[in-house]
Structure 1
Amino acid sequence: MSTDTDLVALVRSASRTMVRELGFMQTTLAATDYSPSAVHTLLELDMQGALTAAQLVQLLGLEKSSVSRMLAKLAAAGEVTECAPPAGMAADARIKPLQLTAQGRRTAAAIHRFGGQRVEAALQQLSPTVQQTVAQGLNAYAGALQSCRQGQTQEPTQGQAIPPLVTLHAGYRPGVIGRVAEMHARFYARHAGFGALFESKVAGGLAEFVGRLDQTGNQIWCAMQQDRIVGAIAIDGQDLGQGQAHLRWFILDDGCRGSGTGRRLLQQALAFCDRQDFAATQLWTFQGLDAARALYEAHGFALVHEAPGSQWGHAVTEQQFTRTRPSAGATPPAAKA
């Protein structure tokens, strides 16, 4: 498929203007004393919770020596500190996860405020319709650039209306416990006959997990449509132990099904698992959810166990799926009770 050369030139010109106007030509960024790479490091640590230097090399596309020097400066400035490795994994002097200090979290919050104010000021000069077009277009273009870097391809679509913009956010969002419990309750009531017992277990388990989000190896992502949560996925790095990650609470609002949002959420969660060096990722579901199973299997999960169960108040055939980290050869654990 060929692309109009005038369109390519227009996008390139706009990209150069954005780079200049957003301050990336300067030695510091976002009203800080830090370089663009340091600012992006602070934001990634704020979103992901903890990362190693090797993981930051991959995320930022920088040389190892440059990342090492930059991290040393951030540590000396009191912005980052070493933290414990993921639960169930032995400490390794060569792999030292880093996380933000209290000062680092304040700095990241200030960067978010600065960036938000810049974007808001620019968007206010556009009509609401153009604002949505800009947000949707930039989101799609950024995703396409990322796919090119990762060697992936996306099939272009024609004649389809642009769906409402859905953005992904890592970490706690106000209302996430109730909203995720609601989406689970509605979906599984229709598809499996689950009732109050199931909803209460989802809400209780998620509430307990949210209290552990500050622990290394735990993270949740929300798909947001403006201020509304329309999807979620979580990685619990503590409850299984043995270097295993537990994929939990993966759910979408009915209006987002088929939009690719679920795939994006799953990819975010699995990329997090790989950066955290979990040997394998486990998930539990039940027979009959064919679309979900196809998505799991497309991302490296395999069915390893199934058996009848009624822990949710209704008899189903429960299934365990396992994805082994690409560079690991760990043996999956026995099925979870």
Structure 2
Amino acid sequence: MFPTDPVGAAREASRRIIRELGFLQDRFVEGGVSHAECHALIELGKHRRCTVGELAEILRLDKSTVSRTVSRLAAAGYVTTATDAKDARRKPFALTASGKRRLAMIDRSAGGRVNEALAALGEVDRSAAIRGLELYARALERSRLRAELSIRPIQSADDPAVAALIRTVMPEFGAKGPGFAINDPEVDNMSAAYGGKRSAYWVVERGGRVVGAGGFAPLEGGAKDTCELRKMYFYSEVRGLGIGEMLIDLALTSAKRAGFKRCYLETLENMTAARRLYEKKGFVPLCAPKGKTGHFGCDAFYERVL
């Protein structure tokens, strides 16, 4: 039965898991290390070598905290500074023999506790529990990553980053050569190209870096009441976070406010995730292209009423 308060139920279950696994204790009893140190050992065991910065990113902790954590592990003889043959400037850490033994002890203890819990469940419930935890963890990660993103109107200073985005993403889907938007003259000067009253273009930022973009403009060679959703691309690191849907909603709302009645777009059949999103947002497939965009390399066409 679905809980009447899913947020409260998820929070309560999270608290119970944290308490049952002993995460409120200062140290991981069997391992003799703090929980942060325990996680650092696990990740060093998994990745073999990591810098403080890399561990900070993985553990979701600031570098100063991780630096102190690694220093304590080094003092205990569990980690040591390693070398990177490809990059002498990189200073990774690696597990010592003592650190590997300590990690094995942690794995036996923690693994045994989880194994006992899963053994108490039937096969169906066990699979459901594992799947539920995976989904929950993934949802928390997506929520965190999405909160790091922001959308704002393009500025002239963004032009090089947007051009690089377009020229990086389009070839991933085979959209290069004649007949594709990658060759449009506006690619190097997007801020000016979309500076008109009936055009708009936005960039998606993460930590001051442009990781996505998209906009709309009147459909070239088309009806005056029809706009085109244009050059909407995202680096792989932010795909699947829902930012594409947010940007489409912003573009459609703005296009309607600008007086357009319809929105048209061109894409590729092999951009399956994008096409699913377009259809989710009400775009209907067309049998043939509209307007005179010059993008004869595209093979999928959509339109929706605003």
| TM-score when normalising by structure 2 | 0.48
Q: Which has the higher contact order (CA 8 A, sep 6+)?
A: 1
| TM-score when normalising by structure 1 | 0.44
